[in-house]
Amino acid sequence: MGTMTNGLDASKLEPPASPGAGDACARLRAVQARMTGAAAGAGRAPGAVRLLAVSKTFGAAAVRELAACGQREFGENYLQEALAKQAELADLPLVWHFIGPIQSNKTRAIAEHFSWVHSVDRPKIAERLSAQRPPGLPPLQVCIEVNVSGEASKGGVPPAELPALADALATLPGLRLRGLMAIPAPTADPAAQRAAFREVREAYEALAARGFALDTLSMGMSGDLEAAIKEGATIVRVGTALFGERTKKHA
């Protein structure tokens, strides 16, 4: 397989958070406490929501540090960076989720090296992922990315196009459709946060009413995970609250 690049020099990843930034286990427990509190406030069981640690731009040492605290699921946006980390951390029983935009020339490596993909937003990508999933592995667990804010800068399909894409995915043997993922427009207003996440949940419920066996709503990040959980999130994707602020930007 040829070398793939994504605009990032893997040798220039963020260093692990400094001791002054707080202990990794303490940061993990703080996020878990926020999740538990939000779930309780919504009348949901404490274990109803899973934490996906978003480790993009942070190196393998930072992932290993958080894994030592008990975190097992990690999300990555950039393929070349992720593959380097996976190789370095192959001794750990981690579950890797791909959550970034997907280019056609990256689908084979994603299909081969990840258990989950959250950012499927067009039939061509879904077809390639299914065809390129190795036969010895279980189906790739996928979410359709939905764009509820109508932002041209973000991926995802409009809610009205979800049924057609879900129908297409249901025919692909290498994939299992689990639910929806969304990244609504950022806002500090809790009511606006909840309104956007509610729209995602309603789109999810509409698909479920059509007979799709769904169980996953991937939504909510460091700044709005409480609102997402109150509106039904089953996976929250948290980076900053676990690893610290990112200072490097991708080209």
Task: Give pLDDT tens digits for 90-123.
Answer: 999 999 999 999 999 999 999 999 999 999 999 9
215 in any annotated domain: yes
Q: What is the CATH number of the domain that holds 236?
A: 3.20.20.10
pLDDT at 154: 81
The pair of structure tokens assigned to 148 is 């509820």
81 in any annotated domain: yes
Does position 229 have pLDDT exceeding 50, yes or no? yes
Specify the DSSP class assigned to residue 11.
G
Helix (H) or strand (E) holding 102: none
Q: For the whole model, what pTM was predicted? A: 0.90
114 vs 116: CA distance, rounded Å: 6
pLDDT confidence bin for 18, thresholds 50/70/90: very low
10 in any annotated domain: no
118 vs 74: CA distance, rounded Å: 12
pLDDT at 248: 57
List CB contacts of 119: < 8 A, sequence separation 6 or more: 98, 99, 100, 101, 102, 143, 145, 155, 156, 181
Q: Give first-to-last CA distance, the chain, whole Å.
A: 24
146 vs 206: CA distance, rounded Å: 13
| Mean pLDDT calculated for residue range 61-77 | 97
149 in any annotated domain: yes
Query: Which amino acid is it at 77?
Result: N
154 in any annotated domain: yes
Domain, as residue range, for 30: 21-243
- Partners of residue 74 on adjacent β-strands: 53, 96
Does position 81 have pLDDT exceeding 70, yes or no? yes
107 in any annotated domain: yes
| β-strands 140-145, 116-120 pairing | parallel
11 in any annotated domain: no
248 in any annotated domain: no
> How many structural domains compose the chain?
1
Does position 85 have pLDDT exceeding 90, yes or no? yes
